[in-house]
């Protein structure tokens, strides 16, 4: 049993850290069909971020993912323009509308609100290895835009083995495995170890006791990213799981901000606090 560390004590006392900012690499925006969000506006999200020391969040629009990708992505871009120091966006694609997807990619890399692309394949019931995603994957690799994929253990649409197949095909593509392939931890770790550009993102996974330690010990804290699905999950919940895991403060710095800073910087979107 490891002892409390300075970072644990600082977060416990203040709810955040002066020396350790947080970058949330897995956020959303807007209401969602199956859940009531008390804090759903951009202003409310910033309030939650401030309480937990989250300096920047990269979000995708629920509306863009599940209702209308044109209007949803436009609203997402508006949020980034209103809060340029706090929000960045993933362009949300719907593989079930391949013609729309193709049209939307044109000029995407020049739109500074968007730093990456978001896949939600389980919900779209379409595999990340399917043809409809090919233009987006090629585009993202060519323009060094990270792709945040919802990944879930056992899924035939976005299970971690399929992530490995995509990474084999696009070796320079930066892939963020949302939820770290929840449940299939060993496969996810294996994929992240094999592919230098594949990262394990912690949303929801952090809650499973022992997962943070397992990912850090076997894949390395340099491959693990902080995320919350905000406005779904309280950043303090995610931070608490990471803070009370049996890892070092150096590992926590990697997870909370260093890895995200490096990825965003390498992809042409340096973070300046």
Partner 1 sequence: MTIIDANASFGAVYTPTLAPCRTPEELIAALDRAGVDRALVAADAIRGGCPSEMNVRAALELAPHARLMPVWAILPLETGEFGTRTEFLDSMKRYGVRALAAYPSKHRYLLDRVGCGELLDAMVECRIPLLLPLEESSGGVGGWALAEKLLSETPGLRLIVLGTGPWGDDRLFRPLLRSFPTLTVEVSRYELDGGIAALCGKYGAERLVYGSGYPHWAMGGALLTALHADIPEADKGLILGGNIARMLDEVTI
Binding footprint of partner 1 on the chain (CB under 8 A) = 1-4, 11-12, 15, 34-39, 44-45, 47-48, 51-52, 185, 204, 206-214, 228, 230-245
- Report, in Å, the least distance between residue 264 CB and partner 1: 23
- Report, in Å, the least distance between residue 251 CB and partner 1: 14
d(C-alpha 113, C-alpha 196), whole Å: 26
Q: Within a 10 A sphere around the Cβ of 177, how many other Cβ atoms? A: 28
- Report, in Å, the least distance between residue 25 CB and partner 1: 16
Nearer to partner 1, 228 or 259 (CB): 228
- H or E stretch covering 74: helix 69-82
- Report, in Å, the least distance between residue 167 CB and partner 1: 25
Nearer to partner 1, 36 or 273 (CB): 36
Q: Can you say whether the dihedral through the CA atoms of 93, 32, 45, 152 is positive or negative?
A: negative
d(C-alpha 12, C-alpha 187), whole Å: 33
- Report, in Å, the least distance between residue 178 CB and partner 1: 15
8 A C-beta contact, residue 144 and residue 268 = yes
d(C-alpha 79, C-alpha 76), whole Å: 5
Q: How would you class 35 by CB atoms within 10 Å of its CB: exposed for 0-12, middle for 13-18, buried for 19 or more?
A: exposed
Nearer to partner 1, 91 or 233 (CB): 233
Nearer to partner 1, 24 or 158 (CB): 24
Nearer to partner 1, 33 or 110 (CB): 33
């Amino acid at each position: 049993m490891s002892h409390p560390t300075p970072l644990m004590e600082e977060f416990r006392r203040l709810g955040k850290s002066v020396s350790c900012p947080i970058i949330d690499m897995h956020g959303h925006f807007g209401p969602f069909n199956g859940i009531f969000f008390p804090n759903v506006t951009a202003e409310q999200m910033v309030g939650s971020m401030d309480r937990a020391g989250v300096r920047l969040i990269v979000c995708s629009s629920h509306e863009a993912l599940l209702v209308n990708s044109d209007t949803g992505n436009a609203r997402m871009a508006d949020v980034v323009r209103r809060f340029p120091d706090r929000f960045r966006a993933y362009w949300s694609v719907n593989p079930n509308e391949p013609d729309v997807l193709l049209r939307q990619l044109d000029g995407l890399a020049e739109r500074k609100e968007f730093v990456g692309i978001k896949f939600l394949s389980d919900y779209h019931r379409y595999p990340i290895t399917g043809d409809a995603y090919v233009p987006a994957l090629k585009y993202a690799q060519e323009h060094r835009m990270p792709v945040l994929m919802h990944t879930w253990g056992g899924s035939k649409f976005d299970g971690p083995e399929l992530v490995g197949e995509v990474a084999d095909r696009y070796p320079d593509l930066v892939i963020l495995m949302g939820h770290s392939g929840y449940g299939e931890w060993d496969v996810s770790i294996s994929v992240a170890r094999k592919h230098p550009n594949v990262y394990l993102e912690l949303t929801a996974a952090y809650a499973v006791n022992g997962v943070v330690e397992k990912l850090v010990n076997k894949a390395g804290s340099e491959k693990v990213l902080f995320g919350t699905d905000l406005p779904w999950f309280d950043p303090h919940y995610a931070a608490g799981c990471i803070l009370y895991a049996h890892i070092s403060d150096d590992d926590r710095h990697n997870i909370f901000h260093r890895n995200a800073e490096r990825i965003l910087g390498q992809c042409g979107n340096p973070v300046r606090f």
